[in-house]
Amino acid sequence: MTALATLQAELPAQTVSRTVSVNYLRAFFDYVQRRGLLLPVLLDGLAVDPSDREGRVAVDVCHRLFARAAQWLEDEDVGLHAGELMRLGYYGAVAYAALSCQWGREAVGYLSRYQSLAMDVGAPRIEAEGESLVIHWHTNEAWRQNRYLADYNLAGLLTCSRLVMGDDLRMVRVDMAYAAPSSTATLQRLADCEIRYDQAVYRLAVPLTMLDYALPEPNPEVCQAMARLAEQQLQQFSREDGFLPQLRRLLATRIAQGAVPQEEVAAALGIHVRTLQRRLGEQGQTYSQLVDEVRKTLAATYIRDPGLSLGEVAFLLGFSEQSNFQKSFKRWFGETPGRYRRQPPES
pLDDT tens, position by position, 101-122: 999 999 988 988 888 889 988 7
Instruction: Give me the pLDDT at residue 93, please.
Output: 92
CATH tag for 243-342 (out of 3.30.465.10, 3.50.30.30, 1.10.10.60, 3.30.360.10): 1.10.10.60
User: Is 70 exceeded by the pLDDT of residue 196?
Assistant: yes
Strand partners, 205: 134, 173
Q: At 238, is the pLDDT very low, low, confident or very high (cuts 50, 70, 90)?
A: low
Tell me the three state secondary structure of residue 55: coil
Name the pLDDT band for 1 (thresholds 50, 70, 90): very low
- The reply to whether the predicted model has a pTM over 0.75 is no
Higher-pLDDT residue of 112, 78: 78
Domain with CATH 1.10.10.60 in the chain: 243-342
pLDDT band at 11 (very low <50, low <70, confident <90, very high): very low
Which whole-number Å values give the CA distances from 322 to 125, 338, 339, in the listed order? 56, 12, 15
At 346, the amino acid letter reads: E
pLDDT in the model for residue 209? 94
Q: SS3 letters for 94-109?
A: HHHHHHCCCEHHHHHH
Q: What is the mean pLDDT of the chain?
A: 88
- For 126-162, what is each residue's pLDDT tens digit? 889 999 999 998 888 888 889 999 999 999 999 999 9
pLDDT class for 345, splitting at 50, 70, 90?
low
Cα atoms in the Cβ-side hemisphere of radius 13 Å centred on 281: 6
Opening angle at CA 105, ends 103 and 108, nearest 5: 115
